[in-house]
């Protein structure tokens, strides 16, 4: 559970922040955003589905963010904020809460306008913006630039001529190779490496000959990348991640990959070189994407699927092999489960017609 807000906020104020309508006691003061189970009389929660109705009825929360369709599931005395999409409202409120807590933490530590740890090593030609915070052991190379109000965590390494846009956050141990460009308001979690060489080698009689990786990595605004990810630099052209993309932990993105705006990629996905992924796609955990293929805008790939050929129509696709629409895969999976019984029935029919060998 997160610490309480330093200054309690009313239900009415929260409703204004998330664009909702108050029913009940709008003057009630809130100090935490909590789960249904852990909420207390100063907490606000959200209800986004009927499967949580019992927990909502038993919750001790002072207020609930809920849709009009689910309002009847709540107990009579609780305040509620009616919104069309409670999960989206929760996301927006969580960001606001996080900013309030961060501001309080900064004030409590009496941070200066610019705070650079004395153990950081910053090249003379690097440009450091207003209000930047740089942690212990950070290295920043020649010609690099850090935008205003960025936070660079302990042990980060930022290469020569790399750039980080305003208000971005790099958590401890992030590495940006030379020339990598990060947009504004990016959030990159610990130990992620951006701009390492792509996996490019040419075979020869004497062994593998390395192909120099001459491109870079360009990452747009409002991108979040999880912990322990690897985004390889391009061989000739740049690897590109569009504005608003959200990438989970342990994702590998190969050289020259292009990912469209607002695509979300879950953990342990591997994307081979030169794949092109469209805008607003959703790729589930553990998916493998082959190189040199296209995935169209709006495609959804189910977890643990293998994408070996281009996806040209938006839809929900699932399966290890072959990749199919989710509806097709469900039918295929159901048939696969019945194969032993179908084989027995086929053998019985073959015996009746006098076949002595199993049919091919």
15-31 per-residue burial string, b: 16 or more CB within 10 A, e: under 16:
bebbebebbbbbebbbb
Rg from Cα positions in the chain: 26
What are the distances in angstroms from CA 4 to CA 9, 32, 44, 239, 312? 11, 5, 12, 41, 48
Letter string b/e over residues 52-67, b meaning 16 or more CB atoms within 10 A of that residue's CB: beeebeebebbbbbbb
Helix (H, G, I), strand (E, B) or coil at 144: coil
Catalytic residues: 255
Residue 322: cis peptide before it, omega within 30 degrees of 0 = yes
End-to-end, the C-alpha distance of the chain in Å comes to 61
DSSP class of residue 59 equals -
Cα torsion through 121, 125, 126, 132, rounded to 10: 80
User: In angstroms, rounded to a whole number, what is the distance separating the alpha carbons of residues 229 and 192?
Assistant: 5
Name which of 32, 55, 53 is nearest 44 in CA terms.
Answer: 32
Integer Cα distance of 306 and 321 in angstroms: 7
């Amino acid at each position: 559970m997160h610490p309480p807000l330093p200054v309690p906020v009313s239900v009415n104020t929260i409703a204004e922040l998330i664009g909702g309508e108050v029913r009940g006691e709008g003057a009630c003061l809130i100090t935490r955003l909590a789960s249904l189970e852990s909420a207390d009389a100063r907490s606000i929660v959200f209800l986004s589905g009927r499967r949580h109705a019992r927990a909502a009825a038993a919750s001790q929360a002072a207020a609930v963010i809920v849709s009009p369709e689910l309002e009847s599931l709540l107990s009579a005395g609780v305040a509620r904020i009616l919104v069309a999409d409670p999960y989206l409202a929760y996301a927006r409120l969580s960001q606001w809460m996080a900013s309030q807590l961060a501001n309080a933490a900064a004030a409590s530590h009496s941070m200066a306008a610019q705070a650079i740890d004395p153990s950081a090593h910053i090249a003379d030609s690097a440009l450091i913006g207003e209000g930047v915070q740089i942690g212990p052991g950070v290295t920043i190379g020649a010609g690099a630039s850090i935008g205003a109000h960025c936070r660079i965590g302990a042990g980060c390494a930022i290469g020569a001529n790399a750039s980080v846009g305003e208000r971005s956050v790099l958590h401890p141990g992030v590495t940006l190779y030379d020339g990598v460009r990060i947009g504004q308001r990016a959030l990159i979690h610990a130990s992620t490496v951006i701009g390492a060489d792509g996996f490019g080698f040419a075979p020869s009689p004497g062994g593998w000959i390395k192909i120099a990786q001459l491109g870079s990595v360009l990452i747009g605004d409002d991108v979040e990348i999880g912990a322990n990810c690897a985004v390889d630099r391009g061989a000739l052209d740049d690897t590109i991640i569009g504005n608003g993309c959200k990438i989970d932990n342990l994702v590998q993105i190969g050289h020259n990959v292009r990912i469209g705006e607002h695509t979300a990629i879950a953990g342990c996905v591997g994307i081979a070189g030169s794949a092109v992924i469209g805008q607003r796609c959703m790729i589930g955990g553990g998916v493998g994407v082959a190189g040199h293929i296209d995935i169209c805008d709006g495609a959804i790939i189910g977890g643990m699927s293998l994408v070996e050929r281009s996806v040209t129509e938006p839809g929900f696709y699932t399966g290890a092999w072959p990749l199919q629409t989710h509806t097709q895969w469900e039918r295929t999976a159901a048939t696969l489960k019945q194969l032993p019984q179908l084989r027995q029935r086929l053998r019985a029919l073959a015996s009746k017609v006098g076949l002595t060998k199993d049919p091919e």
